[in-house]
Amino acid sequence: MPSAASSKAPVAGEPFALTVMERLNEHPTLRPLAERRVGLNQRLAALAIEASGLRRQQGSLPLDGAFGTSVQRRALEDRLHQLERAGGEVETELLHLSAEIERVEACVRHEVGTWRTLESITALQGFVDALEVLSVASVAFEDCCKTNYGLLQSWIVPKQVLDLSLPHRLQMARTSLEQLKQTVARLEDEDEPRP
């Protein structure tokens, strides 16, 4: 369940902490654009619902050719044309907004990506450290089991608790950690101004 702090919108003038974000569109630069897109999509849906209702009304009019019916039909057609124009304007605005969101999102994604990569390095380093401790303990446990069996012809403690894939998992974690560190170094090089 998200914490109250993470769902709190940033207040103008307050610094924004990336650590409270759970979704990219919570970033203060993207939030108003995303909210605007939601509003435009709701407006477009409302226009479509209204147009659908008018088409149903139009279809229910009698085909008797009476002037009153013709006037009603014409009024419905005029309103439908207005709705279609308004819908076209909203769709055009959505296209422009989508391009703006993509542009802003690319900058935000870079900023957030760098921060999350640094956070991931910290977490992965802790994982590698724990695996290394476990690896040393596993070797000691395996040696103890061998000694027990050699002296007593009994393992005493079941040998099945040893993780045979631990050396491979440790190597994979170390490789991932090194790759993340290289990624951060590359990102930092990209951020440095060129002379």
pLDDT tens for 58-91 read: 888 888 878 888 888 889 999 999 999 999 999 9
The answer as to whether 3 is a domain residue is no
The answer as to whether 122 is a domain residue is yes
pLDDT band, very low/low/confident/very high, at 6 (cuts 50, 70, 90): very low
**In this structure, are residues 123 and 165 in contact, taking their beta carbons and an 8 Å threshold?**
no
Using one digit for the tens of pLDDT, what is the confidence trace for 13-43?
445 666 778 888 889 999 999 999 999 999 9
Token pair listed for 12: 């103008």
* Cα→Cα distances 99→33, 45, 69, 102, 112, Å: 11, 21, 45, 5, 20
**In this structure, are residues 44 and 90 in contact, taking their beta carbons and an 8 Å threshold?**
yes
- Tell me the mean pLDDT in the region 173-193: 86
The count of structural domains within the chain is 1
Give, to the nearest 10 degrees, the angle between helix 31-60 and helix 67-152.
140
The answer as to whether 4 is a domain residue is no
The answer as to whether 116 is a domain residue is yes
The answer as to whether 195 is a domain residue is no
The answer as to whether 9 is a domain residue is no
The answer as to whether 2 is a domain residue is no
Which residue range(s) make up the domain with 22?
Answer: 16-188
The answer as to whether 8 is a domain residue is no
Please give the DSSP secondary-structure letter assigned to residue 30: T
**In this structure, are residues 9 and 32 in contact, taking their beta carbons and an 8 Å threshold?**
no
